[in-house]
Structure 1
Amino acid sequence: MRALITGTTGFVGQHLASYLINNGIEVWGTTRDYLNEVNLVEGVKIVPVDFENIESLVKVLDDIQPDFIYHLAGQSSVIDSWTDKTATFQSNVNLTLNLLEAVINSEIKGNVKVLTVGSAEEYGGPDEECSPITEDARLKPTSPYGISKATVGMLARHYFIAYGLKIIHVRPFNHIGPGQRVGFVVSDFSNQIVRMERGQQNNVISVGNLSAQRDFTDVRDIVRAYYLLLNREEVTDWGECVNVCSGTATSIQSILDTLLSLSQTNIDVVIDSNKLRPVDTPVFIGDNTKLKKFTSWEPTINLTQTLSDVLKNLRDQS
């Protein structure tokens, strides 16, 4: 079996590549900076791709003949989407459109299985009567990033209905784990803690709202769900959207408390009013019933283990 991953050197892409290789799947990867092999997983075969050129994409697909396509490439920051809306839609919508056009014009269109990656941000602020959030919840994204990912989900549905493409669109909630870049709550807290342990900054963490509760899942459990969704023998649910989440609410306070308990130095916590959001959804949790029904998936890595692994990964870096 052979898989093509777009965005192979990203946070999720690296973990997915490792998981697929460990399960005996030959992995090909695309990346915008394919000459930079710093973040390449051993065993991944990198192929240069011009996502702006559909004919070039078709040739790559015909040459590789993948059984699975995991489309992870794109702009992943909600904050960045506000400052560069055009780039966000170009990366998340236009490139997805080009990839799907290439698939239906390729030799593999009748057999390949495709997974597009959306986001829980597609839901926006949840309705009180819909918590945990199911896939049938009303989409009302509140950021350019969320709107772009909702559009990707609509494109996935369109290509299933119009062309019979075997495609699943996932809406992952907060995923955390070793290797996540700064800009997300766990990586931000963890990076500060390791810097404090090294004496590189004062032993004070400034925080915003710690009472908010979110649905956190280890990235290694996330990629296992992606694998299971496509690696099924008999599938009757192509064109569906599927939440990938733990189904459990965890407060930011709990995340911080656990990280502090795992730290190797004494740290003070102070509230920074500049980090408090004018509107912050108190509880944002997903319903994973559909995922479990389709795959019998269950999360296997608990929060403490994840946070311990995140800190270890940072400490091991020079």
Structure 2
Amino acid sequence: MKALITGVTGFVGQHLASYLKIRGYQVWGTTRNNSGEVNNIDGVNQVHVDFDNITSIVDMLNFIQPDHIYHLAGQSSVLESWSDKVGTFNSNISLTMNLLEAIVQCEIKEKVSVLTVGSSEEYGGFDTGNNPVSENTPLKPISPYGISKATVSMLVRHYHTVYNLKIIHTRPFNHIGPGQRLGFVVSDFSNQIAQIEKGKKRKVISVGNLSAQRDFTDVRDIVKAYYFLLNEKVDSAWGESVNVCSGKATSIQSILETLLSLADCSIEVTIDSNKMRPVDIPVFMGDNTKLIDLTGWKPIISLEQTLSDVLKFYRDKS
């Protein structure tokens, strides 16, 4: 079996590639490197493709002949989407549409299964009394990023309905794990602790709102959910969206306390008003019933283990 991962060098892409290799897949990934050659890096065949050129994508798909496509590439930052709306819409909407158009035109249209990755940001300003959030919750995205991902979910439904593509859209909630870059709460806390332990920073952590509760899942469990969705009999769900989440809410305060308990020194916590959001939903958690019913998937990595692994990752980097 062959799997193609767009965005294979990203945080989630690297974990997905590792998991698929363990499952015996021949893994391919797209790259922006314009060498014109196929490079095998850590067991992944990386090939250049111009996602602005549908013909280039068709040629790539006909060459690789993947059984599964995991479309992870795109602009993944909510914050950056505010400063670069056009770039966000281009990366997340236009290039996704080019990929889907290419699949319609290529030799593998009838056999390939496709998974696109959206976000819980698609739900946006939902009614906070409706926790946990199910796939039936009306979409009310409030960020350019959320709007772009909600549009992708509509494209998925369109390409399944009109062209009969075997395609499914996922809405992952907060996913965390080793390798995640800075700019996310667990990574930022872990990096500060690691810097303090190395004596590179004062024994003070600066934080924002700690009372907010979010739905956290280890990225290594997330990629298993993606795998299950393309390997189980989910014919009834083609063209639909599926939440990928733990179904539990954990406070940022609890996250911080666990990480501090793992630190090898005493650390003071200070509140930085600049890190407080004007609007912050108190509790945001997902309903994973649909995913479990479709695949039997359940998260197995504990939050404590995940936090320990992330802290180790940043300790090794310091």
What is the aligned partner in structure 2 of residue 43 from structure 1? 43
Number of corresponding residues:
314
Q: 1:295 to 1:151 in 2, by over 3 A?
A: same
Query: Does the aligned pair in 2 maintain the 1:70–1:115 contact within 8 Å?
Result: yes
d(CA) in 2 for partners of 1:46, 1:34: 11
- Whole-Å Cα distance in 2 between the matches of residues 83 and 236 of structure 1? 39
Written as runs of structure 1 = structure 2, the 5 A alignment for 1:284-299 is 284-299=284-299
- Looking at structure 1, the residues matched to 294 and 221 of structure 2 have their Cα atoms a distance apart, in angstroms, of 15
Instruction: Measure how far apart 1:292 and its partner are.
Output: 0.1
Q: Which residue of 2 aligns with 1:31?
A: 31
Q: Which residue of 1 aligns with 2:169?
A: 169
Residues 1:247 and 2:250 are matched in the alignment: no
Shift of the 157–119 alpha-carbon distance from structure 1 to 2, 3 Å rule, reads same
- Using the alignment, how far apart are the partners of 1:125 and 1:147 within structure 2? 12
Amino acid across the alignment from 1:274: N
Deviations 1:150-193 (A, max 9, x none): 00111011000010000000000000000000000001111111
- Displacement of 1:41 in angstroms is 6.2
Distance 1:187 1:34 in 2: 32
Shift of 1:237: 1.8
**Contact preservation (8 Å) 2:6, 2:30:** yes
Taking the TM superposition and a 5 Å limit, the aligned residue runs for 1:295-314 are: 295-314=295-314
In the aligned structure 2, how far is the partner of 1:107 from the partner of 1:169? 22
What residue number does 2:136 align with? 136
Structure 1 consecutive aligned stretches of length 4 or more whose deviation exceeds 3 Å:
none
Q: Which residue of 1 aligns with 2:179?
A: 179
Counterpart of 1:288, as a letter, is N
Equivalent residues of 1:3, 1:25 under 8 A apart: yes
Q: How far apart in 2 are the matches of 1:52 and 1:145? A: 20
Structure 1 residues 110-162: Cα deviation after superposition (integer angstroms, max 9, x where no partner): 11000000000000022134210000101000100000000011101100001
Q: Superposition pairs for residues 205-244 of structure 1, below 5 Å?
A: 205-233=205-233, 235-244=235-244
Matches within 5 A, 1:263-302: 263-302=263-302
- In structure 2, C-alpha distance between the alignment counterparts of 1:58 and 1:277, rounded to whole Å: 43
TM (normalized to structure 1)?
A: 0.96
What residue number does 1:146 align with? Answer: 146
Q: Kindly provide the amino acid, as one letter, of the partner of residue 288 in structure 2.
A: N
- How far apart are the structure 1 equivalents of 2:313 and 2:182? 13
Alignment partners' CA distance in 1, 2:95 and 2:74? 8
Q: What TM-score results when the alignment is normalised by the length of structure 2? A: 0.96
The Cα RMSD (Å) is: 1.2
- Matching residue of 1:156: 156
Deviation per CA, 1:279-298: give whole Å up to 9, x if none. 11000000000000000000
CA distance in 2, matches of 1:160, 1:78: 27
**1:210·1:253 contact (CA, 8 Å) conserved in 2?**
yes
Corresponding residue for 1:14?
14
Q: State the distance in 1 between where 2:31 and 2:81 align.
A: 20
The residue type equivalent to 2:47 in the other structure is: V
Q: Distance in 2 between matches of 1:277 and 1:317?
A: 29
The answer to whether residue 59 in structure 2 is matched with residue 56 in structure 1 is no
Aligned residue in 2 for 1:110: 110
AA partner of residue 138 (structure 1): P
Q: Deviations over 1:44-68 (max 9, x none)?
A: 0000010011001000000000000
Q: Percent identity?
A: 68
Secondary structure of the 2:237 match is: coil
Please identify, of 4-13 and 123-132, the stretch whose mean Cα deviation from structure 2 is larger. 123-132
- Measure the CA separation in 1 of the matches of 2:129 and 2:90: 34
More divergent stretch after superposition (264-273 vs 124-133)? 124-133
Contact 2:128 2:281 in 1 (8 A): no
Cα shift at 1:317: 2.6
Residue 23 of structure 1 aligns with an amino acid whose one-letter code is R
- Give distance in 2, aligned partners of 1:11 and 1:197: 25
Distance in 2, Cα, partners of 1:213 & 1:32: 37
**What secondary structure, in the 3-state scheme, does the structure 1 residue paired with 2:205 have?**
strand
Structure 2, unaligned runs of 5 or more: none
Structure 1 unaligned residues grouped into runs of 5+: none
What is the CA–CA distance in structure 2 between the aligned matches of 1:34 and 1:73, rounded to whole Å? 17
Question: Which position in structure 2 is the counterpart of 1:190?
Answer: 190
Partners of 1:207 and 1:233 in 2: how far apart? 44
